[in-house]
Amino acid sequence: MTQRCFYLDAYTRSFDARVVERTRHDQQPALILDKTYFYPTSGGQPADRGQINGVHVKDVFIRDGDGSVVHVLDGEIWTEEINGEIDWERRFDHMQQHTGQHILSQAFIQVASARTVGFHLGENSVTIDLNRGDLKPEEIEATESLANQIIWEDRRIRIHMVPVHEAEEMSLRKLPAVDGDTVRLIDIEKFDLTACGGTHVSRTGAVGLVKVVKLEPRRDQLRVEFCCGRRALIDYRRKNRIITHLAADFTTGYSELEQSVARLREEVKQAHRQSKLQRIELMQLLGSHLLHNATEKNGYRIITQAFEDKDPDDLKVLANRLVENPGAVALLGLSGEKAQLLFARAEKAPGAMNELLKSALQVLGSAAGGGSPQYAQGGGPAADIERVEQALARAERLLLAQIH
């Protein structure tokens, strides 16, 4: 089994070791060393990256069965003696997030009696799941404050390797997943003691800051997303940039942003309302004009009109307006990427709109549509205004032939 040096020393970034086995993983060359500082995926913490003899380390994991640490590489290495270099930025980020998690989990216990039942450390987010779903905002804030106080007190963090039976006697936050006879305990000075196999900073101060960024209730649990240290800085920077830009756009201070956005939303809502009313008015005017110029036969009025630029909703408003007049039949069409036809008639006007639509749609090469004798619509394929006019003309011819 590989000697796991990262258990006792998380700060070594460069080390020499000996190759004890060469293997392959997913067609990639892989090495097993006599000892390693590369952290393998485990306990909710992702694996380290880095280089071995200048070759990129793609993945590190623990092999089932014998517990060897497998280093998956981008290329072959043939020497017996190797030098390993840990990607320190990534590792230190994991150390900050993971230690911050220990502190935050203990703080949730002390402030809100909420226990951590799940932990996930990803590339972009870190979350814990709490066994209480009903935490109040004040409890979250008090927890966050306590956690940051512990960070700023710069407390020592020690690692103890103790026999399993001794660990069982101690009041641990989390019981160890037993692997062998010893248990690794992470001891945050006079604050938290827990069994953990991950990598941590040596003093709480190195976590820098912990900030809760999102809460997601899940049944009777609460998922808490947070970020620590450098991630918190990046998060702050990003949000600060967004807010600064928004404040400049609104020509206001950031503390007035919420009011400015609320005002804007109200204005947009009113503008929408007004525009809707104006469109209805416009359609009524257009309707009157079209009625005036309609084809008349035996006292019926047939309005045949194709449009190029019109909202399909306007077409409906217009059709409804037209058929308010007894004896009116509206054969309307809209050209464009998805051409549309809308046929409607007054109750006592002649013609079966669904039948006329069927014939007209053939001109557009579509069969997508239907409706009743009084109201039918359809369309789908792209068609220019001339093609739509042809379709409408066919429907009009058929209709006129039915009126005697």
Which pair of tokens denotes residue 274? 């007004």
CB of 173 to Zn ion, least distance (A): 10
The pairing of strands 221-228 and 126-130 is antiparallel
Nearest to residue 208, comparing CAs of 257, 119, 261, 148? 148
Instruction: Tell whether the torsion through CA atoms of 166, 169, 172 and 176 is positive or negative.
Output: positive
CB of 196 to Zn ion, least distance (A): 3
One-letter amino acid of 229: G
Nearest to residue 98, comparing CAs of 215, 214, 202? 202
Comparing CB distances to Zn ion, the nearer of 115 and 297 is: 115
Comparing CB distances to Zn ion, the nearer of 196 and 399 is: 196
Comparing CB distances to Zn ion, the nearer of 103 and 196 is: 196
Contacts with Zn ion by CB under 5 A lie at 98, 196, 198
Nearest to residue 100, comparing CAs of 208, 177, 195, 10? 208
- What does the alpha-carbon distance between residue 208 and residue 230 come to, in Å, rounded to a whole number? 8
CB 115 within 8 A of CB 140: no
Nearest to residue 96, comparing CAs of 153, 45, 172? 45
- For tokens 């990534």, the residue is 90
Integer Rg of the chain from CA: 36
CB of 197 to Zn ion, least distance (A): 7
Comparing CB distances to Zn ion, the nearer of 104 and 392 is: 104
CB of 262 to Zn ion, least distance (A): 43
Comparing CB distances to Zn ion, the nearer of 199 and 340 is: 199
CB of 144 to Zn ion, least distance (A): 19
CB of 33 to Zn ion, least distance (A): 23
Comparing CB distances to Zn ion, the nearer of 198 and 369 is: 198
Nearest to residue 6, comparing CAs of 94, 80, 78? 94
Residue least distant from Zn ion (Cβ):
196
